[in-house]
């Protein structure tokens, strides 16, 4: 199994006390060392995403805006909105995060491996076509999906998003691209409250009430995602893997546990084995309780590796 990560991700600075802090990824990587998992993982440093692949998702005006807003070395972090911040290294970290997805696509389609996890930050699934928001600068999973569709043997892909927050950016980008299935489970009503009412054959919104537990989650996923996957039959599956639906997470009010993330990962691997030659590229989105993030993400990649 390939793990794409880069030291630059932890140089992405945010405001003091911000939930999407460098310690998130640092704690996860340290946990893998602590439990001696790192030695069993194949770590690869990605290249920054190419301009043409980024422009397949975001317009030049958005790229120019991020570049213009980015502070220079030694300067303070600046807000794009109350939630989303740029430090001197943030733009480069975001380019490398999108690059991880593209590197994963290239590796999987070159038969280097069938399973990839991108241990990245900043996250990406809230970034809309021309709007950075929700801690997200570029929509990395969307960039990866578009890169996959460049390949001659990839006609359809799926993005399966189990972050506690709706994948509004992925829906915005692909709502009129029927070759991309986007399934998103999320607490509702809750941030970002955008695109949750989008009705398209390739968009599956799976809202969950605050307080929902693993049984509620499993029933909703089976009811909504499985028929969509059976109809779409993706050639490659992407996962927006957010672990902020965990019961300990401070930013939401769902009550999932590690075994629920194992369950949904097993469901995804089963679908991939059936439709996608086992090929899955997963990327880290949310998860803001450090210990819950570490244990949940670990459970996810161990299930992915099976």
Residue numbers annotated as active site: 126
Q: Which residues pair with 255 in a beta bridge?
A: 213
CA 178-182-187 angle, 5° bins: 150
Strand, helix or coil at 57? Answer: coil
Quickly list H helices, 150-195. Answer: 168-174
Give DSSP secondary structure letters for 95-122.
Answer: HHHHHHHHHHHHHHHTTS-SEEEE--SS
Sheet of 115-118, strands arranged across = 42-44, 2-4, 115-118, 280-284, 236-241, 157-161, 180-187, 203-208
95-104 burial: b if 16+ Cβ within 10 Å, else e: bbbbbbbbbb
Q: Nearest 10 degrees: CA dihedral of 226, 229, 231, 234? A: -170
Biggest alpha carbon distance in the chain?
Answer: 52
| Number of helices followed by number of strands (H, E) in the chain | 9, 10
Residue 231 CB neighbours (<10 A): 10
Which residues share a beta bridge with 115? 280
Between the CA atoms of 65, 70, 76 and 78, what dihedral angle is there, to the nearest 10 degrees? 30
81 with 133: CB under 8 angstroms?
yes
Q: Is the sign of the CA dihedral 61, 82, 12, 242 positive or negative?
A: negative
User: Which residue is listed with tokens 């809309």?
Assistant: 128
């Amino acid at each position: 199994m390939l793990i794409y990560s880069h030291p630059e991700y932890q140089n992405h600075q945010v405001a003091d006390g911000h939930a999407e802090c460098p310690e998130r990824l640092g704690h996860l990587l340290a946990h893998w060392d602590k439990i001696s998992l790192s030695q069993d993982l194949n770590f690869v440093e990605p290249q920054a995403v190419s301009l043409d692949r980024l422009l397949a998702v975001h317009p030049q005006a958005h790229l120019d805006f991020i570049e213009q807003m980015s502070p220079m070395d030694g300067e303070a972090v600046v807000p794009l909105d109350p939630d989303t911040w740029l430090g001197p290294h943030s733009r480069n970290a975001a380019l490398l995060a999108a690059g991880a997805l593209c590197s994963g696509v290239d590796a999987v389609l070159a038969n280097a491996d069938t399973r990839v996890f991108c241990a990245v930050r900043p996250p990406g699934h809230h970034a809309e076509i021309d709007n950075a928001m929700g801690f997200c600068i570029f929509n990395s999973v969307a960039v990866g999906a578009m890169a996959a569709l460049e390949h001659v043997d990839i006609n359809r892909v799926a993005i399966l998003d189990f972050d506690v927050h709706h994948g509004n950016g992925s829906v915005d980008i692909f709502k009129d691209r029927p070759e991309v299935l986007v399934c998103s489970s999320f607490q509702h009503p809750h941030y970002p409250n955008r695109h949750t009412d989008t009705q398209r054959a390739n968009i599956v919104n799976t809202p969950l009430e605050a307080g929902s537990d693993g049984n509620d989650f499993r029933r909703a996923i089976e009811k909504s995602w499985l028929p969509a996957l059976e109809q779409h039959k993706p050639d490659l599956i992407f996962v927006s893997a957010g672990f902020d639906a965990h019961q300990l997470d401070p930013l939401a009010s769902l009550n999932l546990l590690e075994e629920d993330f194992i369950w949904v990962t097993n469901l995804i691997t089963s679908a991939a084995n059936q439709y996608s030659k086992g090929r899955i590229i997963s990327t880290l989105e949310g998860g803001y309780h450090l210990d819950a993030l570490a244990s949940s993400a670990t459970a996810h990649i161990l299930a992915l590796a099976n």
